[in-house]
Structure 1
Amino acid sequence: MNFEGTIALFQYWNRLRDGRPAPRRTEVEPADIKTLLADTFILEKDTRDEAVFRLAGTRLCAIYGRELKGFSFPSLWREKDQRLMARLTHGVLRQKSVLLLGYEGFTRSGRSNPFELLALPLDGGAEHPRCLGAISMAEKPFWLGAEPIVDAVIDSIRVIDPDKEPMFLANRPAIPVPSLAPTELETPQTMSEYGRVRRIRHLVVLEGGRDEQPMD
């Protein structure tokens, strides 16, 4: 993790869980992370079993130029990567894995900014899986919030089972991938399947999660 916001949220979540796979969602107190709230979000599954925003901070809504509540989380990424993002999010919500994602966000005019996303599982019971997350950035250019982010390209992915790797980020480094399309929004396909350890075009994905069986 590179940014203060994601580090602070992970440390808070790790204290709450106290050795469990995830803390209960009722244990999260907004007052405890009030300085992070503008950049945080909570995801849940809708009736179609798709990850959607239950809550989203004001700065996140401003960055994307709309109210994100009820909005599909995978749809923030380009169509070619949405299947991957759906599977990664499923791992957080259903298998209690931790997701750390580096990505580049683009506006319609081609401006871009790097972001770091952290998604952490919450124990809401089998019927109400949720996760707590944050999107952080090293720089806040003058145009951010005035020109909405409309596209995103994944730079690195890290999926971790907290039980198997209790020392977060101790064993497996994040995997960088080449930057895509600095001037155009359309790029070659980045992902068609998601597996245990798989290289597809420029992207390497490591499977995480508690279940050793492939996800349907």
Structure 2
Amino acid sequence: MKIRHKTTQTLLRYFTWVRGRDTAPLRSAIDPSQLKTELPDIFILEKGMDGHVRFRLAGTRVCQVLGQEVRGEEFLRFWRTRDLHKMKLSFDTILATRVPMLVDVRGISDQVSAADYEMLLLPLRSTPSVCDRIIGSLSAVSAVRSPYSLGRRLEATAITILHDAVPEAEELDDLEDDSFYIDKPMTRPFGHRPTHLRLLQGGRQD
């Protein structure tokens, strides 16, 4: 299985390092300063008491792809009807099993030609015992003619469960192109372990 975008690589590596021996990291352990370059492609989702999954936070490029500010919007409303059940099941599976997923996404728009994206979905705990959030990224892997206000409808073309398969840190450092194969657990540190959360713009404090 091949990961194609550097944002996906970096977020997956950071997630694997920050969670340590846990199945999913605490939200308070995520330090956005470690992901400065990737922040425009990153988002956080939360499953509410009503069972709906909503964007808590979203980077500028995520909002550009979806054609609006998405904070507070339901995650599923941006997907094609035939993918709604599949994506809801994927979200519930990630929270229940705390296993990351990679989604190959086709962005469909009436205004411009379709574009391909890579979406990473990673489990996140709001408390030590509650896993109710996902940190993810949405990154273009094909040319996007116009990045602004596309209002694309998303289509899931493939979904891959990642289990504990992530690359060695030295394998990432030695990459000569923008892709790698996931086949080994990461064993080396990402950087200084964060001890607090620096919030992205928006969202409630908890």
Label 1:166 to 1:6 Cα distance change in 2 as closer, same or farther (>3 A). closer
How far apart, in 2, do the equivalents of 1:124 and 1:112 lie?
Answer: 35
Over the matched positions of the two proteins, sequence identity in percent amounts to 27
User: Alpha-carbon deviation of 1:128?
Assistant: 5.9
Cα shift at 1:95: 2.1
Structural mapping, 1:8-157, within 5 Å: 8-109=10-111, 111-125=113-127, 126-127=129-130, 129-149=132-152, 151-157=153-159
Gaps of 5+ in 1: 172-216
Could you list the per-position Cα deviations for residues 118-156 of structure 1 after superposition, in whole angstroms to 9, with x for gaps in the alignment?
A: 01111223556111100111244232214321x222221
Whether the aligned pair in 2 keeps the contact of 1:50 and 1:86 (CA below 8 Å) is no
TM-score w.r.t. structure 2 length? Answer: 0.75
- The structure, 1 or 2, with the larger RCO (C-alpha pairs under 8 Å, 6+ apart) is 2
1:170 is aligned to 183
Shift of 1:51: 1.4
Q: CA RMSD in A?
A: 2.0
The code of the aligned residue for 2:34 comes to: D
CA distance in 2, matches of 1:55, 1:37: 10
Alpha-carbon distance between aligned partners in 2 of 1:147 and 1:76, rounded to the nearest angstrom: 12
TM-score by length of 1: 0.71
Letter in 2 for 1:137: A
Runs of 5+ unmatched residues, structure 2: 168-180, 185-206
Q: 1:97 and 1:128 mapped to 2: Cα distance?
A: 11
**How many residues end up aligned between the 2 structures?**
168
What is the alpha-carbon distance in structure 1 between the residues aligned to residue 51 and residue 130 of structure 2?
Answer: 11
Provide the secondary structure at the position in 1 that maps to 2:96.
helix
CA contact (8 A) 1:44 1:128 kept: no
Structure with greater helix share of residues: 2
CA distance in structure 1 between the aligned counterparts of 2:24 and 2:131, rounded to whole angstroms: 14
Tell me how far apart the structure 2 counterparts of residues 102 and 74 of structure 1 sit (CA, whole Å).
16
Mapped contact 1:74–1:83 kept (Cα < 8 A):
no
- How far residue 62 of structure 1 moved from its aligned partner, in angstroms, is 1.4
1 CA distance for matches of 2:36 and 2:166? 26
For 1:135-178, what per-residue CA distance to the aligned partner results, in whole angstroms no more than 9, with x for missing partners?
A: 111244232214321x222221102333xx5769329xxxxxxx
